[in-house]
Structure 1
């Protein structure tokens, strides 16, 4: 999202991210003298102050969704991996442990995720507590009912991720609750379900005033469909019919349609997408934090893409996952692979073990921890369009693309999966049509292998197709767990001995500080 394309209201949402960052930093300086403070009792004294509290749960998500949440959703899977190349990127073995499922309760990134999720929940609770039941002698920027319901939907999303990653967690609805106890995962599921259903009537819809980047009715139904899709994992009880019903609310709403091209939802200016239902807006100047290209591209490609700083080349893709794509599948173009050239045809020269040679990106990765090689090993993902030099000035490490959380294709395939699971894993005509409709834009008409039948669309193939369609969209861990594949042995990862790693541990510091919390099994 570029700021020149924003309305004044949207600009207010993204610019408040700076306030969120400042609030995080200020929390660490508890010994400084306080010269003034605004509390929930006196802060909301004008419309702008109400607006800043209302958008804080949204803007805070910009600070954590890619920098932390992406890692926990992708690195334990068969998809993305942060390899050590020429001895660089070891980072105390953090990403090796994530890849091999040997993490512990003392991992920094697990603590960051827990803290971020509950900080986001805290922003939601603070706004709800301050505004609910209060009268104002000034005009509010939006209806109070809508703002409260959006805050509760954002709280539901933060809780969804907490339940998905940590299982049973405390359900805290008000600021100031001391040492809350663990709530069972099934109870967290019920809380999220209740919150979504209760708040849908107060939400606006796509096309209404100031809807973009906010929870709409359709976005709420999409989250509900995802909740029901994973209900058997989350609560112990399958809810396939409810998943289908919620998915139908999205599919039949008339508000969204599949984009013409598979890559359209991920363009630099993707706020006009017909497919994206809920996004986290980013802007390289006013709402930074999405640096996917910097994390994924090799430093040797700095000048090709016109970066102001060298890319890190941290994240690569496992060969087995890349091999899921057929050569005639247009989605294979989201991967950088092979010899690299500048746009004028000049050779891009490699670094380290490719020093003095052309940079060649090879799908094969020799080692997870490579002290002397591996610079060009592992294909790199450019699903989110990278600005080319001269397109709009230098290429910042921060991207202008809005990060997609929920889109129509996912909901269509969720419905197809629910239909199949109701039938013991067998696909019927409706399920096949839903998946083929998503898949069609990725192949030329009549291309070999482009169309599923009821015989070829198995559950295993559906998992593969979800991988192809939703690569790097933070869905793979959840999908692998639901399909019973998370514990399997894979490249440089032995099979897990049990299902304990399907949940992350409550961070050691957190559970030590609050004995009322119950640690997950195996930690």
Structure 2
């Protein structure tokens, strides 16, 4: 089913990565205007809009510069991860991002922008062709239009949270001249958000409650994404309305075991609200339908643990619990005997702990003297798995989850707390913690005992204050979603990015010399700069983000 949605028909649509023709909207090839409006070709246009979701928008193999998982844009620039790899010179531009020394010319800043706006371009092209085609099945047309509104909302949302001030582009923008005349300041921040909200609202009104192909969004996914838009704007009552609709639909539920969520056999399971569908060995060029954006963290290739996206010591310490199983809020280095949240060993690899079915993790990862002994684990697979590609580009078929049900529950908890309903907040936080408590723990290799001192429980008594409730909520999001690309964006929307990151740098640079010159500047580093190429092409229409 994945292959149907995301296989890009290259004979119909080709994309230039950064030339002047990048945003030209006319189909390339031998198709006449009449031919392109044939239903089968319009459907291929729809498929092409989906195909960019994985960050792969041209025939280069460097989708790791525009990863759908945002491992560099959301994790490495947070307190959860180091860049990793073969030292600071390996993908040095991501090292610059990590220490907040980036500028508008950094490759990843441009590649991510291009990937997102290529997705917007394709969604808009599909919308125009759907509207123009007289032969397309009328009963299906409205659904496909809703899917394209959903995708256009997604691509704009991603751009908004990464770059701040963006151009919103709809289907009326046709030529590259039209595009380059657009400004990222002609709409206010609120107006930009309203445009994105409108796409998800329109999608929610039309999309069905079920889809036969799991890669296509449903009504509840659109409502969940709308809730996420409201969350970023602190529209708490609206968050409550939309999340309640999703929860009351009873379409979703938490899986029994936290670790099972990240297995390919379950990656369209009961917990997944919307996911990017990955597949391998499906006939696509160079297996680009797999997790190509994450290939630098693969457990294969020329290294035992490729070495990128390395857990920070600060993240490891965050999983420490008290004797009664609650977060310890203790940033002292985790010791072997310390009580810990069991999600730690499902999230990352630690020495002496079984690593999937392969062995006890005891190897030395790349540049351990720089990045420490731990490696990421959550989106990796055993090298014995049929869903792992044991040859170049060493990728997997593990979907990337844009929204899962635990997100919705914790968004509902956050909105409750922010509106002073602390008990409802505690209820939803506990739902997530109880799954971690009651699910499967990592065992020793012989299966006879827990691999570590796992101690976790729910919050048994009421929160003493709103501040205490918010601290619990924010910690829960960190532990539940570590290395899923969300942490930095949470810190920014909470308004604590500068405080958290500079405190993190102050402590971590004592352990990791590569952070010696790292510093976060409030009012600047909350957003990435607008790529210099886009500034130049706009001939003054685009406005650079503050302080770049």
Residues 428, 393 of structure 1: alpha-carbon distance in 2 compared, 3 angstrom cutoff: closer
1:197 partner SS: helix
CA distance in 2, matches of 1:19, 1:144: 24
Per-residue deviation at 1:387? 3.6
8 A contact 1:280–1:402 mirrored in 2: yes
Is the partner of 2:34 in helix, strand or coil? coil
1:516 aligns with 541
Which residue number corresponds to residue 219 of structure 2?
Answer: 217
1:256 aligns to what? 252
Separation in 1, partners of 2:478, 2:312: 12
Contact 2:255/2:261, CA 8 A, preserved across alignment: yes
Task: Quote the Cα distance in structure 2 between the aligned partners of 1:386 and 1:345.
Answer: 10
Give yes or no for contact 1:17–1:62 (8 Å, CA) kept in 2: no
Q: Which of 352, 376, 379 lines up with 1:381 in the alignment?
A: 376
2:195 aligned with 1:191, yes or no?
A: yes
Structure 2 match to 1:98: 97
Aligned to 1:502, what secondary structure does the other structure show?
A: coil
2:146 to 146, 149, 163: 149
How far the C-alpha of 1:158 sits from its partner, in A, is 0.5
Aligned: 1:244 with 2:245: no
- Gap change, CA 1:167 and 1:255, over 3 Å in 2: same
- Aligned equivalents of 1:292 and 1:116: distance in 2? 12
CA distance in 1 between partners of 2:195 and 2:381 (Å)? 39
The superposition leaves residues 319-375 of structure 1 with CA deviations (integer Å, 9 ceiling, x where unpaired) of 011111134422112211114889999888xxxxxxxxx6256xxxxxxxx9x8627
TM-fit CA distance, 1:522? 0.4
Is the 2:310–2:371 Cα contact (8 Å) retained in structure 1? Answer: no
8 Å CA contact 1:67, 1:289 repeated in 2: no
Q: CA deviation at 1:96?
A: 2.5
Q: 2:496 aligns with which of 482, 485, 503?
A: 485
1:129: how far off? Answer: 1.3
Q: How does 1:439-454 map to 2 (within 5 A)?
A: 439-444=433-438, 449-452=456-459, 453-454=461-462
Q: Is the 8 A contact 2:55 2:112 kept in 1?
A: no
Structure 1's 129 and 444: CA in aligned 2 closer, same or farther, altered over 3 A?
Answer: closer
- Sort the Cα spacing of 1:84 and 1:343 in 2 relative to 1 into closer, same or farther, 3 A: closer
Partner of 1:503: 527
Could you say if the C-alpha distance between residues 460 and 340 of structure 1 is closer, same or farther in structure 2, counting changes exceeding 3 Å?
closer
Q: Given that residues 84 and 371 in structure 2 are in contact (C-alpha distance below 8 angstroms), is that contact kept between their aligned partners in structure 1?
A: no
What is aligned with 1:235?
none
Q: Give distance in 2, aligned partners of 1:29 and 1:310.
A: 41
Instruction: Describe the shift of the 1:422–1:394 C-alpha distance in structure 2 as closer, same or farther (beyond 3 A).
Output: closer
Q: Where does 1:363-382 land on structure 2 (aligned, <5 Å)?
A: 374=369, 377-382=372-377
CA drift at 1:284: 1.8
Whole-angstrom distance in 1 between the partners of 2:357 and 2:36: 56
Give the deviation of 1:390 after TM superposition.
6.4
Q: Contact conserved, 1:319 with 1:378, CA < 8 A, in 2?
A: no
- From 405, 412, 418, the counterpart of 1:415: 412
SS in 1 for 2:153: helix
Distance change >3 Å, CA 252–CA 518, structure 1 → 2: same
Question: Residues of 2 paired with 1:345 and 1:99: CA distance?
Answer: 31
CA RMSD of aligned residues (A): 3.3
C-alpha displacement of 1:503: 1.3
Q: Distance in 1 between matches of 2:54 and 2:228?
A: 21
- Asked if the contact 1:267–1:385 (Cα under 8 Å) also holds between the matched residues in 2, the reply is no
2:443 is matched with which residue? none
**Structure 1, unaligned stretches of length 5 or more?**
1-5, 232-237, 349-357, 362-369
The 5 Å alignment of 1:310-459 reads 311-326=305-320, 327-334=339-346, 335-339=348-352, 359-360=363-364, 374=369, 377-389=372-384, 391=386, 395-396=390-391, 397-423=394-420, 428-444=422-438, 449-452=456-459, 453-455=461-463, 457-459=468-470
> Are the structure 2 counterparts of residues 17 and 288 from structure 1 closer, same or farther at C-alpha, using a change threshold of 3 Å?
farther
Which residues of 2 match residues 83-122 of structure 1 at below 5 A? 83=84, 85=86, 88=87, 90-91=89-90, 93-122=92-121
Alpha carbons 2:6, 2:277 under 8 Å: kept: yes
- Paired residues of 1:268 and 1:385 also in contact (CA < 8 A): no
| TM-score when normalising by structure 1 | 0.81
3-state secondary structure, aligned to 2:275:
strand
Deviations 1:444-490 (A, max 9, x none): 49x85511243265212321210110111111111111222211312
Query: Cα gap change, 1:325/1:246 in structure 2, threshold over 3 Å: closer, same or farther?
Result: same
Cα offset for 1:198?
Answer: 2.3
Contact kept? 2:413, 2:473, Cα under 8 Å: no
Deviation at 1:434, TM superposition (A): 0.5
Correspondence for 1:50 among 42, 45, 48: 42
Which sections of structure 2, spanning at least 5 residues, go unmatched? 57-62, 283-287, 321-338, 440-453, 510-514
Instruction: Write the deviation string for residues 250-277 of structure 1: whole angstroms up to 9, x where unpaired.
Output: 1111111111111222102224411001
Q: How many angstroms apart in 1 are the aligned matches of 2:112 and 2:356?
A: 39
